[in-house]
Amino acid sequence: MHHFDLKDGALHAEGVPLDTLADEVGTPVYVYSTATLKRHYSLLRTAADAHTDALGEALIAFAVKANSNLSVLATLAKLGSGADTVSEGEIRRALAAGIPAERIIFSGVGKTDPELAFAIAVGVRQINIESGAELDRLIQVAAMMNASPAIAVRVNPNIGAGGHAKITTGGKGDKFGVPVEEAYELYARASASPHVTPVGLACHIGSQITDLTPLEAAFRVLAQMTHKLRADGHAVTRLDLGGGLGVPYSGGVNPPSPAEYVAMAARVLEGLEVEAAFEPGRLLAANAGILLTEVVQVNERSDGRRFLVLDAAMNDLMRPALYDAFHDIAPVRPREGAAMDYDVVGPVCETGDTFARDRSLPPLEAEDLVVMTGAGAYGAVMASEYNSRPLVPEVLVDGDKWAIIRARPTYEEMLDREPFADWL
């Protein structure tokens, strides 16, 4: 569900025609819909609120890595969202956007000592510990600060899932979390230290998961572990269920709804009397964003291949190049005429800079605008300036209003960022 629709022959973001945005801001540009963000958040919130018996006052902690733009975070903050963060930079963004520290979770396999100290100093809700080595370092850092931060132990349940091997995190060989037995040991070690306060367990098994079975299996592992830890005399008051629920990138895929997902979690956690946390990234943001781009030219080659060359490239939207990800492509003003097959590519000098092969699209010409949908999560955040292409800007729409929420840098700004070494 999203708010990018055809009206009077042109695609709009809510009330704003996309060709207006292209004229005013230029292309390529990311465009986000406030209404879609709000809708996705409220679907999940409503689902969680229907199960407070099993999930407590569940925290929805938006995975900032999916879209860390300050205005996007502030939109979610106003709805009451928390944040799942993986770096000091993300914590700072969440705080700057108005997300209170008590709703910020700090996750990640390689948190540095200064980052841990920062998280303690600002008073985040909980630090998710991913290894024994990290627990040792956290205890040392917290001892120096005379603190005892709340921690959860991230379990690797040996249940991997997700849309691509590179985004599967819960398998045995994946770098994330610790096996069940080691988690018990870390929990006991943490309980014995005055410098950390273990409050629960966490897991996150992968991303773009379109079947509840592996998620349910992972949540059952957490539930069983809760019983065992309590039997051993430990307090377990929170379970962090991670993110991972998939979204429909194309008409064909139909992932479970947020309501089905939450109902499953409630079924598994029923009777445990814990407070649950969800860490959705893609679910909230993916379909709230599009990448708006212009056709540079159509290369009709003598061997029969037809290349649609866009002014957006792999540096602006990495997902197709990195994960062979599918994004729907649609013209802003569809022309009449029979659909044709196009290879949709960007101008970057690698064959990997291909958004789609043999994609059937209405006829297109140079200077037509097209959008790539489902680009609100893991889009702008993963962009770079490869090929010295200015970092792609971002626009937020709310009804008939729109604002540039990250401007395209000028070439002067890009060059000025790099001082010459003084011997040159």
Which of 179/399 has CB closer to ligand LLP? 179
**Nearest alpha-carbon partner for 148 in 106, 196, 114, 116:** 196
- By the 8 A CB rule, do 133 and 177 touch? no
* Minimum gap (Å) between residue 378 Cβ and ligand LLP: 3
- By the 8 A CB rule, do 203 and 240 touch? yes
Please tell me whether residue 283 binds ligand LLP under the rule CB under 6 A: yes
Please tell me whether residue 243 binds ligand LLP under the rule CB under 6 A: yes
**Among 244, 320, 374, 393, contact with ligand LLP (rule: CB under 6 A):** 244
Please confirm, yes or no, whether 349 is among the known catalytic residues: yes
- Give ∠ CA 61-63-65 in degrees, rounded to 5: 155
Cα distances (angstroms) measured from residue 392 to each of 14, 67, 107, 303, 379: 21, 14, 27, 33, 10
Please tell me whether residue 323 binds ligand LLP under the rule CB under 6 A: yes
User: Rounded to an integer, what distance in angstroms lies between the CA atom of residue 314 and that of residue 47?
Assistant: 36
Please tell me whether residue 289 binds ligand LLP under the rule CB under 6 A: no
**Among 281, 320, 346, 374, contact with ligand LLP (rule: CB under 6 A):** 281
Please tell me whether residue 279 binds ligand LLP under the rule CB under 6 A: yes
Which of 111/195 has CB closer to ligand LLP? 111
Sheet strands (E) in 75-175: 82-85, 104-106, 126-129, 150-154
Which of 33/332 has CB closer to ligand LLP? 33
**Nearest alpha-carbon partner for 2 in 414, 372, 411, 307:** 372
Alpha-carbon torsion, ordered 346, 350, 356, 359, to 10 deg: 80
User: Rounded to an integer, what distance in angstroms lies between the CA atom of residue 74 and that of residue 96?
Assistant: 8
**Among 31, 37, 66, 91, contact with ligand LLP (rule: CB under 6 A):** 66
The active-site residue out of 192, 349, 366, 415 is 349
Size of the site for ligand LLP (CB under 6 A): 22
Please tell me whether residue 262 binds ligand LLP under the rule CB under 6 A: no
- By the 8 A CB rule, do 368 and 331 touch? yes
Binding-site residues, in ranges, read: 244, 279-282, 319, 323, 350, 378
Binding-site residues for pyridoxal 5'-phosphate, in ranges, read: 244, 279-282, 378
> Which sequence positions are flagged as catalytic?
349
Q: Which parts of this chain interact with ligand LLP (CB under 6 A)?
A: 63, 65-66, 84, 107, 167, 169, 204, 207-208, 242-244, 279-283, 319, 323, 377-378
